[in-house]
Structures are given as structure tokens and as C-alpha cells.
Amino acid sequence: MPTEPEEEDSTAAALDANRVLWDEWAAIHAQSDWYNLDAVRAGADKLRAYEKAEVGDVTDLRLLHLQCQIGADSVSWARHGAHVTGVDFSPVAIQIATELAESLGVSAEFVCSDVLALPEHLTGTWDIVYASRGILGWISDLGRWARVASHFLRPGGTLYLTDMHPMARAVDDTTDTLQLGRPYWARTDPARLEVRGSYADPSAHVDSTSKFLWTHSTGDLITAVAQAGFRIEFFHEFPWLDRSLPSLTKVSPREFVPPNGIELPLYFSLRAHKV
Ligand SMILES: C[S@@+](CC[C@H](N)C(=O)[O-])C[C@H]1O[C@@H](n2cnc3c(N)ncnc32)[C@H](O)[C@@H]1O
């Protein structure tokens, strides 16, 4: 369905605000313990064991990394043998990622573009499209995101996505008690949420005061991928979130779970092949 001009204006304004915020966050994150780029420079692998197992051997494969931020995961894939192209809409993030890859001498290059406009800025085909940890909420149009992924894959190529489960987005992140307090189903407009500091450094000063996030249900995601010309191989659900919420309990440095044995799908991974 074509979008109305007013809708386009508000989406563009939300994306502009998000980009300004990400420019600020990228600079903060490059200095943060959370991303610890010194450890990356010294050889630390930022990828999680489950995703490496699920993506498989990447030796000599071309990997397109969507929403790569400061390139910590991108250079990790390059160290595993992939030829990486990272994409992000934050010029600050892309500059940090480019300098990181150059300083390490790994096979990774970076393109600054809104992910939904990428076909206007990049040509070629890749073996793998990969995106992880903090992707879907920033995307206004999931169908278009999946079509962009399909556009850049060779036939038979792999889409791999791992992110916060849509169910986890519905959890109220302001209370100590576990309760559902945010929407699960998609809304037309993005939610405007107040920003203080960053998830990687809550005490950092940021001038931005808002971020704009879109809600997508599990069904929206599965449908978007299936309709973009993919065969979905699996959709795995995990019982942990990779960051803290007041109502969750830490069980490992990157795993936070509900209290009292309550089970909820909080994270997911999806692998699909382009038909
Ligand atoms: C949480 S990070 C995910 C990257 C990686 N998991 C990490 O932690 O470094 C989200 C990234 O999405 C990027 N992003 C958000 N909206 C975007 C858009 N419309 N087009 C391209 N990049 C976008 C942000 O700039 C940010 O770098």
C-alpha cells in the first residue's frame, strides 16, 4: 500500500532523530567497556557461540552485515575468513568501523546508507546477509527490509538474523515485577521513548532526548521473510535476553532470565535461504 505524504514525513523525522542518536552512541560505544574495542584489537571474538554454529563456516564467503554499527562483529566475521561488507546509516559508526578494520588489516569494508535505501548505494551479490542484536526495532518497514536482504543475496544464499524476540519487546522495562506493559502487535507510528545515556554506558552524556522504535510481531517477521522469496529453515527461540531489564535475573554476563522459573521467549535466531 502506498504511504501517505504525512506518514512519510513522520517516518523521515523519526529516522533523522535516530541517526543523530546513533552518531552520539557510536562515539560513546567505541570507548565503552561493553564493546571493548581494545579487546577486539587484541583478538577478542565478539560473536556468540550459538550464532557461529548456526551460520556455519564462512571461509571465503561474501558476508553483507546489515546495521553493523562500529564493526566489532564485522571484523570478527572477517577473522573467521569472511569477506565482509558492513552497512550502517550512522556516518560516525561507519568511520569507526572503517578505522578498526584498517588497523587490523582484515577483509572488511563499510558503506554508509539507510538499510532500506541500500539498493541505491551498493551493487553486487553476497553469499550471506547477517544482522544481529538490536535490528528490528529501528526498522519502519519489515517487508522492505527483507526484500533488501533478498536483493543482495545470490540464489541459495543465506539470511541469518538474531535479535530480541518480539515478545521481549512487550515486557515492561520500567518495573521490578515481570509484566507485559508495551505493545506486541505493530502500530502505524513508532513509539517515542526517552533516552538517557546509552545501554552500553548509562552514565554517558547524550544530547538526544528521544529514540523512535517500531513494533513488529513474530508473525510480521516470519511473513516478511517468507514473502521476500526465502525458504525459512528455522526460527529458534531462546529463554534469555542479552541485556538487563529490572525484572530479569542475570545468569551469565550476556544472559538475563525471568524470575521464579517463568519461561518466556526473549531472543530468537532465524535462518532462511533465498529460493
Ligand atoms: C544495536 S546496533 C546493532 C549492531 C550490533 N549488534 C552492535 O551491537 O554493534 C543497531 C544499529 O542499527 C543502525 N541503524 C538503525 N536504523 C538504521 C537504518 N534505518 N539504516 C541503517 N542502519 C540503521 C544503528 O546506527 C546501529 O548501528
Q: Quick: pLDDT tens for 29-45.
A: 999 999 999 999 999 99
Q: How many whole angstroms separate alpha carbon 162 and alpha carbon 108?
A: 21
- Residue in 135, 138, 241 to alter for ligand 1 test, most ligand atoms within 8 A of Cβ: 138
User: What is the DSSP secondary structure assignment for residue 2, as one 8-state letter?
Assistant: P
| pLDDT confidence bin for 135, thresholds 50/70/90 | very high
CA of 76 to the centre of ligand 1 (A): 17
How far CA 127 is from CA of 36, 90, 216, in Å, comes to 29, 24, 26
Three-state secondary structure call for residue 218: helix
Q: Is 90 in the pocket of ligand 1 (CB under 6 A)?
A: yes
Average pLDDT over residues 63-68: 99
- Residue in 69, 76, 164, 241 to alter for ligand 1 test, most ligand atoms within 8 A of Cβ: 69
Q: How many whole angstroms separate alpha carbon 140 and alpha carbon 208?
A: 20
Nearest CA to ligand 1 atom 8: 133
| pLDDT confidence bin for 108, thresholds 50/70/90 | very high
User: Of 128-142, 151-165, 167-181, where does mean pLDDT reach its minimum?
Assistant: 167-181
Q: Quick: pLDDT tens for 90-103.
A: 999 999 999 999 99
Q: How many whole angstroms separate alpha carbon 225 and alpha carbon 145?
A: 9
| pLDDT confidence bin for 9, thresholds 50/70/90 | confident
| pLDDT confidence bin for 188, thresholds 50/70/90 | confident
- Of 254 and 4, the one with more pLDDT: 254
Nearest CA to ligand 1 atom 16: 138
Percent of the chain with pLDDT over 90: 94
CA–chain centroid gap for 240, Å, is: 17
Q: How many whole angstroms separate alpha carbon 148 and alpha carbon 160?
A: 13
How many distinct structural domains can be found in the chain?
A: 1
- Residue in 89, 113, 145, 201 to alter for ligand 1 test, most ligand atoms within 8 A of Cβ: 89
CA of 67 to the centre of ligand 1 (A): 4
Domain range holding 19? 5-274
Calculate the average pLDDT of the chain: 96
Write the CATH number for 142: 3.40.50.150
CA atoms within 13 A on the CB side of 51: 21
Model confidence, pTM = 0.96
Q: How many whole angstroms separate alpha carbon 18 and alpha carbon 4?
A: 21
In ligand 1, the atom with minimum distance to the C-alpha of 70 is 9
CA of 94 to the centre of ligand 1 (A): 11
Q: How many whole angstroms separate alpha carbon 273 and alpha carbon 232?
A: 6
Query: For residue 5, is pLDDT > 90?
Result: no
Query: For residue 2, is pLDDT > 70?
Result: no
| pLDDT confidence bin for 223, thresholds 50/70/90 | very high
Nearest CA to ligand 1 atom 7: 69
Please name the amino acid found at residue 125.
T
Q: Which helix (H) or strand (E) holds 99?
A: helix 91-104
